[in-house]
A and B are shown apart, each in its own frame.
Chain A
Amino acid sequence: MGYAFSSGYGLLLVLFGVLPTLYAIYLAFTKNGAFAGLENFTHVFADYRFLPAVEHVALYLFIWLILLVVVVVILALIVHGLRRRWLSASVRFLYYIPGALAGASSVMLWLFVLDPEVSPVSGILRGLGLSSFVQTVSVQNLPVVFTVIAFWTGAGGWIVIMYGALNNISLEVMEAARIDGAGPIKTAWFIQIPLLRKWISYMGIMSLAAGTQLFVEPRVLSQASRGVVPPDYSLNQLAYLYAFNQGDFNGSAAISLVLLVVALGLAAFFVFRGGLFERD
Chain B
Amino acid sequence: MASQHRRIKRTLAATAAVAALAILTACSSAGTGSAANDSKYGFTTAKQDSKSAITVWVDAAREPLAKAFVAANPDTPIKIQTYDGNAGGSDSFKTKMALFDQSGSGWPDVVFSTQTNDTSWAAKSANGTQAFAAPLNKGLFPASFLNGFTAGAESPMTVNGTVYGLRNDLAPVVLWYNKKLLDQFGYTAPTTWQEYEALSDKLAADHPGYILGSVGDAFTGTYVYYWGAQAPIFQLKGNTFSSDFTDKHTTAMTDLIDHMLANKTLVQDSLFSADFVKKYASKLVAIPGPAWYAGALFQNAQSLNNPAGEIGAANPLYWDGDAKVTGNVGGGVWYASSHSANYAAVKKFLTFVISSPDAAKLASGLPAYSSTADTWLTAQTSSGYFTGDFKGAISTAASSVWKGWGFPSFSPETAYAKVVVPGLAAGKTIADLSPAWQAEMKNEAQVQGYTVK
Contacts and interface: CB of A to CB of B under 8 A. Distances in A.
Q: Is B a genuine binding partner of A?
A: yes
Contacts of A210: 3-4, 7
Contacts of A103: 3, 6-7, 10
A119 interface: no
Contacts of A209: 4, 7
Interface in A148-173: 150, 153-154, 157-158, 160-161
B7 A228 contact: no
Given A23-B18, A117-B275, A247-B126, A135 B3 contact: no
Main secondary structure of the interface of B (DSSP, over half): helix
Given A20-B18, A102-B6, A227-B418, A244 B1 contact: no
A99 B421 contact: no
B82 interface: no
Given A48-B443, A48-B447, A210-B3, A245 B413 contact: no
B7 A245 contact: no
Contact of A157 (B3, B89, B417, B422): B3
Given A117-B275, A247-B127, A150 B425 contact: no
Contacts of B417: 225-228, 230
Contact of A245 (B95, B128, B218, B426): B95
B52 interface: no
Nearest to B102: A249
B3 A99 contact: yes
A117 B447 contact: no
Interface in B265-290: 268-270, 273-275
Given A134-B422, A226-B270, A231 B3 contact: no
Contact of A246 (B7, B102, B268, B448): B448
19 contacts: A21-B15, A23-B22, A48-B443, A99-B3, A100-B2, A103-B3, A134-B268, A139-B422, A161-B1, A206-B1, A209-B7, A213-B7, A227-B413, A227-B418, A228-B421, A243-B98, A244-B91, A247-B121, A247-B127
Contacts of B4: 154, 157, 206-207, 209-210
Interface residues of B, number: 50
A160 B2 CA distance: 11
A19 B413 contact: no
Given A228-B421, A246-B447, 17 more contacts: A16-B19, A32-B128, A48-B443, A48-B446, A49-B443, A102-B6, A103-B7, A139-B422, A150-B3, A160-B1, A226-B218, A227-B218, A227-B418, A228-B417, A244-B91, A244-B98, A247-B126
Given A132-B425, A138-B426, A210-B4, A227 B274 contact: no
Interface string B89-122: 1110011001101100000000000000000010
Nearest to A150: B3
Contacts of B274: 117-118
Interface in A194-227: 206-207, 209-210, 213, 215-216, 223, 225-227
Interface in A11-50: 12, 15-17, 19-21, 23-24, 32, 47-49
Contacts of A134: 216, 268, 421-422, 425
A246 B127 CA distance: 11
Contacts of A213: 7, 10-11
Contacts of B323: none
Nearest to B96: A244
Contact of B90 (A15, A48, A223): A223
Contacts of A207: 4
B300 to A, nearest CB: 18
Contacts of A20: 15-16, 18-19, 22
B414 interface: yes
B374 interface: no
Interface string B126-138: 1110000000000
Contacts of A216: 10
A175 to B, nearest CB: 30
A244 to B, nearest CB: 4
Contacts of B90: 223
Contacts of A139: 422
B161 interface: no
B64 to A, nearest CB: 26
B27 interface: no
A216 B121 CA distance: 26
B88 interface: yes
Contacts of A246: 447-448
A53 B219 CA distance: 25
B414 A47 contact: no
Contacts of A17: 12, 15
B432 to A, nearest CB: 15
A67 to B, nearest CB: 15
A262 B7 CA distance: 17
B59 interface: no
Nearest to A151: B3
B217 interface: yes
A223 B126 contact: no
A23 B17 CA distance: 12
A135 B99 CA distance: 36
Contacts of A244: 91, 94-95, 98-99
A160 B99 CA distance: 42
Nearest to A47: B447
Interface in B30-44: none
A15 B19 contact: yes
Contacts of B446: 48
B438 to A, nearest CB: 13
B301 to A, nearest CB: 20
A216 B3 CA distance: 11
A209 B6 CA distance: 12
Contacts of A226: 88, 217-218, 270, 417, 421
A245 to B, nearest CB: 6
B167 to A, nearest CB: 24
A154 B99 CA distance: 33
Contacts of B102: 249
A46 to B, nearest CB: 10
Interface in B420-434: 421-422, 425-426
B281 to A, nearest CB: 15
Q: Which 6 A-B pairs have the closest CB atoms?
A: A227-B417, A157-B1, A20-B15, A99-B2, A154-B3, A244-B95
A24 B3 CA distance: 25
A210 B15 CA distance: 15
B127 A231 contact: no
Contacts of A15: 16, 19
Contact of B1 (A16, A158, A231, A249): A158
